[in-house]
Amino acid sequence: MSSNGDLAPISRLRAESQNHGPHSRLDWLGEAIRTVTGPAEEMGQRQDVIRRALLAPVIVALVLIPPLRIPGWPAVAAACGAAFLYDIPLAYIVFVKKRFLLARALAFVLDALLLAVASFFVLRALGSTNSSSDLWLAFLLFVASGGFFLAPVGALIYTGVAMVSFALGTVLYFPADSQYQEQLLIRLFVFAALSLITYGTAQELEKRQQRLAQQRQAAEDAASRLGAVLDTVGEGIVVVDANGAVTLANREAERIWGYRQEELIGKGLWELIPEQAQGDIGLTRYLATDAGGAVGQRLELAGIRSDGMPFPLEIFITETTTGGGMLFTAAVRDITERKRAEEALRTSEERLRTVVTNAPVVLFAVDREGVFTLSEGKGLEAFGVGAGAVVGRSFIDVLRAAPEGIASMQRALAGEAFTETIEFGGVLLETHFAPVYGPGRVVSGVIGVAMDVTERTQTESLLAGQRRVLELIAVGAPLDETLDVLVRLSEEQSTFRQ
């Protein structure tokens, strides 16, 4: 049996501590304690305190039963009482101060000392009656079970202290011709064999603990990398279990709902998206009953922030089956700004429609095939039609009575933007044509606005005729020329009135 491999870390740390300050010595001491007692994890130390607090009263209760009383039982009861008493400060160190390494070191020393002292008292009681009881086997098993909870080095020390205590107690308190003295070497051999078994078991347990620690660290590293990746995503990511409880959330989800990540974990989906906001979709019901239409759809719902304020959100849920059951991943977007923009656009469109509807103009649009897709404006009343009356019809059909209008629309569809006055149905329309371009600068349609300029044209023509008459009179033009201008002016007025 050799423990050089297990003591190597202590030797190395002792050498390092000679070259460094107090902090290095403390580090060496902490590493030495871990080498002897094993890792001091919170859960293990809590269990150790609870186990000692439960085991001590049980042993005391057993040795107080007359048929179960063993020689030296008062010492056993006293040892259990002492263990229960020092378990109280150990509980304070573990549960309140959370000094797990200190608690493990103290427990190791106190338990070993208490075991050695109690064994002396029991062996003295056995020796005083020259007992041949097999109680030593129970002692042996108790010692071995205690070593399983320690590191290999600690298991050797623990069983070694118990073996030395047993040998000294036997030599000191039993007669030379007693069974205990005569079989001491055999029993020490059994002790040594069991110590080796304890040592090997402790080694195997330590290896398993190291593998579990490595696996746990690998899982934590993977979770950390996954969290780092999720935190770079521009959408809120929330993972929900089959009970509707959040198990994972990224930073964007934290920003969206206003909770810290640790506060989001464990919250129910119904706390983030109230059931009354889920409508007929029934997200919570789907997660609970596997019935519904929430998964695989992009939904717009109302969420509740941490301050209780509702907000619109867009959510897309996928489901995954794992060994632990169903998991649902929700990609969430806060669409507050989008909703505001949509409302602003809707308001602007309503205002524009109001202006267009009440203005004496005609607003129109055709697609690349020349089919009207829009016809709005108060100016349509001059033709006895309402808004949208020509939508779906070809401009060639609509403008059949105005060939110049057909020609102008064809120019615009060819990519030319211009303004032209067109006569249609006895109405003069000053029309602005503008081609609409799609991908690749290909014309995808035409939009335009036409304004009724009939009265303005009439007025301009009348004023021009009057100026011409005045000019002829001023230069003394022949009377017949002046009369010709007046006749033409009169005819134009008659035409306008018609």
DSSP at 292: S
- pLDDT over 90 at 294, yes or no: no
Query: 246 near 240, Cβ under 8 Å?
Result: yes
Most confident of 91-100, 284-293, 417-426, 453-462: 91-100
Residue 397 is which amino acid? Answer: D
pLDDT tens digits, 331-383: 899 999 988 988 888 887 787 777 666 667 888 999 999 999 988 888 888 78
Residues 6+ apart with CB under 8 A from 246: 238, 239, 240, 264, 265, 266, 267, 268, 269, 272
Record the tokens describing residue 328, joined without a space.
Answer: 């649902």
For the question of whether the overall pTM of this predicted structure is more than 0.75, the answer is: no
pLDDT above 60 (res 14) = no
Domains of the chain in start order, with CATH, are: 38-215 (no CATH), 233-334 (3.30.450.20), 346-452 (3.30.450.20), 457-497 (no CATH)
CA distance 380 to 383: 6
DSSP string, 102-136: HHHHHHHHHHHHHHHHHHHHHHHHHHHTT---THH
Q: What local confidence, expressed as pLDDT, does residue 465 receive?
A: 63
Buried b / exposed e along 211-250 (16+ C-beta atoms within 10 A): eeeeeeeeeeeeeeeeeeebeeeebbbbbbbeebebebbb
Q: What local confidence, expressed as pLDDT, does residue 5 receive?
A: 45
Per-residue pLDDT tens over the stretch 146-167: 666 777 888 888 888 888 888 8
Q: Are 232 and 308 in contact (CB under 8 A)?
A: no
Kindly compute the dihedral angle of the four CA atoms of residues 435, 440, 444, 445, in this order, to the nearest 10 degrees.
0
**Is pLDDT of 131 > 90?**
no
State the pLDDT at residue 479: 60
φ/ψ region of 266 (left if φ > 0, alpha if ψ in -120 to 50, else beta) reads left
Rg (CA), the chain: 49
